[in-house]
């Protein structure tokens, strides 16, 4: 699920990219970031090379490292660029309850217009399970945060008692799994997959299962809290 902000991990103290002083150098650094984003999306982190990124940027490898110090720092910077440029991020003022669940459906709809962003997320999140991958902590923390946000939204929307929060946690895992799986299917066959409609159907079904008295059979759309 490529709405990174929803489960955005807390930033750790770490090495940072150099801060260019001139406008030209700042533009060059941004060019490198966008080229790296495209390259990581196409090849993954492990198969992408600094040499290829440097060539596409019109630089030497040393020139790329002048701005980003290491390949792993370049990857971290790409992920942070994704966070900053994500559309409709809820951030600290994220919606609650049903509004947050509708936000997930809206995210799935927006993602159908952001193939490059979706591909980057799908490739790197899958690749991050490998040993010593530099994005592993990023994605682990992101899933932890997102899982908590979705579970809280389900608890609030359904009015669940504390004893039932385990079911909400399981349902949150299902929502995230569906959204991530839909992205892979959509990347392979975009004309065959409506990510927003499928996400909507799953959330509506889970609401009915968690709180049948509150959410009976619906019309296939995430209920409104109005």
In the chain (226 residues long), the average pLDDT of successive 10-residue segments reads 52 64 91 95 93 96 94 92 62 82 95 92 94 94 94 96 93 97 97 98 96 75 54
Rounded to a whole number, what is the largest CA-CA distance in the chain?
Answer: 64
Indicate whether 79 and 114 sit together in one domain.
no
Domain that holds residue 98: 88-210
The per-residue pLDDT for 26 is 92
Indicate the pTM of the whole model: 0.79
Indicate whether 107 and 179 sit together in one domain.
yes
Indicate whether 94 and 204 sit together in one domain.
yes
Question: CA dist 73 to 20, 21, 57, 64, 66, Å?
Answer: 16, 19, 17, 11, 12
Three-state secondary structure string covering 195-218: HHHHHHHHHHHHHHHHCCCCCCCC
Indicate whether 126 and 193 sit together in one domain.
yes
Q: Is 118 inside a domain boundary?
A: yes
Select from 85, 110, 142 the last residue of a domain.
85
Q: How many domains does the chain have?
A: 2
The per-residue pLDDT for 220 is 42
What b-and-e string marks burial along 38-54, b requiring 16 or more CB atoms within 10 Å of the CB?
bbbbeebbeebebebbb
Indicate whether 73 and 177 sit together in one domain.
no
């Amino acid at each position: 699920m490529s709405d990174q902000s929803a489960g955005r991990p807390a930033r750790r103290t770490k090495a940072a990219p150099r801060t260019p002083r001139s406008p030209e150098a700042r533009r060059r650094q941004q060019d490198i970031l966008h080229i790296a984003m495209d390259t990581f999306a196409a090849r993954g982190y492990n198969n992408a090379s600094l040499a290829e990124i440097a060539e596409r940027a019109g630089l030497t490898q040393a020139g790329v490292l002048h701005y980003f110090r290491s390949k792993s720092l370049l990857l971290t910077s790409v992920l942070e660029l994704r966070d900053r440029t994500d559309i409709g991020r809820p951030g600290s003022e994220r919606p609650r309850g049903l509004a947050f669940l509708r936000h997930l459906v809206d995210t799935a709809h927006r993602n159908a217009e952001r193939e490059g962003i979706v591909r980057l997320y799908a490739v790197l999140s899958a690749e991050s399970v490998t040993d010593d991958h530099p994005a592993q902590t990023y994605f682990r923390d992101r899933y932890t945060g997102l899982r908590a946000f979705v579970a809280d939204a389900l608890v609030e929307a359904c009015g669940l008692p504390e004893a039932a929060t385990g079911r909400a946690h399981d349902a949150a895992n299902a929502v995230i799994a569906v959204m991530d799986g839909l992205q892979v299917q959509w990347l392979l066959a975009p004309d065959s997959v409506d990510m927003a409609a499928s996400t909507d159907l799953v959330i509506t079904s889970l609401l009915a299962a968690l709180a049948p008295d509150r959410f009976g059979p619906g019309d296939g759309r995430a209920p409104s809290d109005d």
